[in-house]
Structure 1
């Protein structure tokens, strides 16, 4: 038996448009996304960046998490889901901030218990970084490239070399910066929480100061 296909952002937008009996043109006018772009997204030929998803959320008055099917409670989840998602960078939801470029992977999976994310770190001092970040759950961070300096609320800073990692309580204030002599760091992170709104919480951390990224 072929595993059930999980919805992409394109299929979720198409379903939303169908439920409201909107034409593609009407949907484009309502959400502020060009018709040609919207058509490509609905046919899974193009992904949307964070600023475009936020625009749709605001214009259509829906929660950001609905665009990731996080709250679909229409049917109980079976014991064996056979879920699978290939984490391609082109399909990631991208958020650019003064400190980081985030690439949230596998965005089409609903009700995820873990949020995988690639992060490019540019901040080089804790003063440049600003206030420490806090959110629910726990996280695991593995350094893929460069050297990362890890600052946490209750511990002295540590430097992680490529191939090294750290596991922390995400409620504790934390920040990752490029260590001395390193221009940029690439991190692979996994965030996990019992909070089913984790994805939305992570996205809204970046609302203030997030840089808009144009859809190509």
Structure 2
């Protein structure tokens, strides 16, 4: 006896489950949490977390809520789209907005796990940063400052980037992006090969 082909609904669900898992892993890495850290913060087992990240299980609403709370995002951030070929446009209303631990407002403009690419539109109020402490992760970062001034802290070095300037660096270097100015700062930020 052979298995029946997957119905369109089952195929769609598999795609959503896989995308949620990729997003959970990306957010965990962005927060610099190990699976153990996330397990302690959520009360979920390591095997459950691993299965979620690999898209091997359909997480319950309670599990998704616990993951979102531990990762510091709204539950809708776990459903950020990986993109598709059916339309070239991602409407503004479909882009996920969350606030980082450092107080920066981050809008996910593009999240393409298949290209290992993330594009954000970030906004820093005075005194906010992308993280509370320097972060490190795989990949490379590029930022185009649209408005205001940002301090790009790389290890012990601090660089000032103003409107029109571009920051680019290996994300393996400890880094922290801070608005030390008196006004709002905005930038388009790209993470490449982070996932």
Q: TM-score by structure 2 length?
A: 0.55
2:116 aligned partner? 113
1:100 aligned partner? 104
> 8 Å contact 2:110–2:117 — kept in the other structure?
no
Superposition pairs for residues 77-156 of structure 1, below 5 Å? 85-97=88-100, 98-107=102-111, 109=112, 111-122=114-125, 124=127, 130-154=132-156, 156=157
How many Å separate the matches in 2 of 1:90 and 1:150?
30
Question: Aligned to 1:15, what secondary structure does the other structure show?
Answer: helix
How many Å separate the matches in 1 of 2:173 and 2:120?
19
- Structure 2 gaps of 5+ residues are 1-7, 17-59, 63-72
Structure with the bigger RCO (C-alpha within 8 Å, sep 6+) is 1
Q: Assess, with a 3 A threshold, how the Cα gap between structure 1 residues 189 and 89 changes in structure 2: closer, same or farther.
A: same
How many Å separate the matches in 2 of 1:177 and 1:122?
9
Deviations 1:109-134 (A, max 9, x none): 551232111111236277x9531022
1:16 aligned partner? 13
How many residues align structurally? 134
> 8 Å contact 2:82–2:110 — kept in the other structure?
no
How many Å separate the matches in 2 of 1:191 and 1:177?
17
How many Å separate the matches in 2 of 1:141 and 1:87?
21
Q: CA RMSD for the aligned pairs?
A: 3.8
How many Å separate the matches in 2 of 1:123 and 1:12?
46
Q: TM-score by structure 1 length?
A: 0.50
1:214 aligned partner? none
1:177 aligned partner? 178
- Structure 1 gaps of 5+ residues are 1-10, 20-29, 33-49, 55-63, 71-80, 199-216
Deviations 1:141-196 (A, max 9, x none): 01011111111115x211111000111101111111113333x2111011101x6x
